[in-house]
């Protein structure tokens, strides 16, 4: 059985309005996820931008001081409240924009890019949303978990994948519940602990979960984890900015759709705090 390993983050900062620890590599250990950012956001820093070939998912922790607004070229303008989730299945392409509901207050959450299987990369875009009260809960000896999405949630997903927010009391242990053939990783959101084999767990660290039962996580203090899992796609992936396709030809076609308006239009929102900045990239 493969052993867990620590995954190194990258720090992303845009002025005083956006700070994130992000994980993008090694892709083979994140698959089917492309990217995860643990972010804190106080103001609008991203101009409207396109996505294609994957799902862009935003989850807000229950301690977020404010919600977020998600706008898209499908005509949607939705509020994401603390504890809630917004899923933009970009497919063949959609324009997108997100910003804090109340500028100046901190939105605290996860930005997740989940890959789509090759046969679904050109599907029509759609949006799914569900609030905290629709998410199932589990608990064990010294721990409790909220399944944000995954097999226990009553939502049809494009590919087997899951996210649980797990809170452990000091001295408690937790073994992530992966299905056979899945892999995953756990991000430390707050607190400290260790993996049973000795690897340290602290804020800003991520631990790979290479197989079911491969890791037991121990809490030294109140510990909050974001535990991701999914069935790897093991498919070719070509990334270009906000596009994640199967080959270069699909990337060129996605750029052409974007430039010709085939992903729709989304005007910058009129707001004095809106700052033009580079779009988020896969």
Q: Higher confidence at residue 153 or residue 29?
A: 29
| CA 40 to each of CA 48, 52, 174: distance values in angstroms, whole numbers, following the listed order | 19, 24, 27
**What band does 255 get if pLDDT is binned at 50, 70 and 90?**
very high
Cβ pair 142, 166 in contact under 8 A: no
**Segment 23-41, tens digit of pLDDT:** 999 999 999 999 999 999 9
Average pLDDT along the chain: 93
Whole-number pLDDT of residue 154: 63
**Segment 164-174, tens digit of pLDDT:** 999 999 999 99
Closest CA to 99 of 54, 39, 37, 53: 39
Q: Using CA atoms, how far apart are residues 130 and 24, in angstroms rounded to an integer?
A: 26
Whole-number pLDDT of residue 271: 54
**Segment 215-253, tens digit of pLDDT:** 999 999 999 999 999 999 999 999 999 999 999 999 999
What's the whole-model pTM score?
A: 0.93
Q: Delineate the domains of the chain, giving CATH numbers in brackets.
A: 6-23+30-259 (2.60.120.10)
Q: Using CA atoms, how far apart are residues 56 and 42, in angstroms rounded to an integer?
A: 20
Phi and psi of 259, rounded to 5°?
-65, -30
Q: Using CA atoms, how far apart are residues 161 and 85, in angstroms rounded to an integer?
A: 15
Residue 279: pLDDT over 50: no
């Amino acid at each position: 059985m493969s052993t867990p390993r620590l995954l190194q983050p990258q720090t992303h900062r845009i002025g005083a309005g956006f700070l994130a620890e992000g994980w993008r590599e090694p892709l083979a250990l994140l698959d089917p996820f492309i990217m995860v950012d643990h972010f804190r956001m106080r103001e609008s820093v991203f101009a409207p931008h396109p996505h294609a070939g994957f799902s862009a998912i935003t989850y807000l922790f229950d301690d977020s001081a404010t919600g977020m607004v998600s706008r898209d070229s499908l005509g949607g303008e939705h509020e994401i409240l603390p504890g809630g989730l917004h899923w933009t299945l970009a497919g063949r392409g959609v324009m997108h924009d997100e910003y804090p509901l109340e500028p100046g207050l901190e939105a605290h959450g996860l930005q997740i890019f989940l890959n789509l299987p090759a046969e679904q990369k050109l599907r029509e875009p759609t949006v799914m949303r569900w609030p905290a009260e629709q998410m199932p809960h589990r608990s064990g000896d010294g721990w409790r978990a909220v399944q944000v999405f995954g097999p226990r949630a009553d939502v049809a997903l494009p590919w087997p994948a899951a996210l649980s927010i797990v809170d452990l009391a000091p001295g408690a242990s937790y073994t992530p519940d992966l299905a056979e053939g899945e892999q995953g990783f756990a991000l430390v959101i707050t607190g400290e602990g260790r993996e049973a084999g000795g690897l340290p767990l602290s804020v800003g660290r991520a631990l790979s979960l290479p197989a079911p039962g491969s890791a037991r996580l121990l809490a030294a203090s109140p510990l909050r984890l974001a535990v991701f899992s999914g069935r790897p796609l093991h498919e070719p992936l070509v990334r270009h900015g906000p596009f994640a396709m199967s080959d270069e030809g699909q990337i060129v076609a996605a750029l052409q759709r974007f430039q010709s308006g085939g992903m729709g239009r989304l005007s910058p929102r009129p707001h004095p705090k809106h700052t033009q900045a580079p779009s988020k990239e896969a």
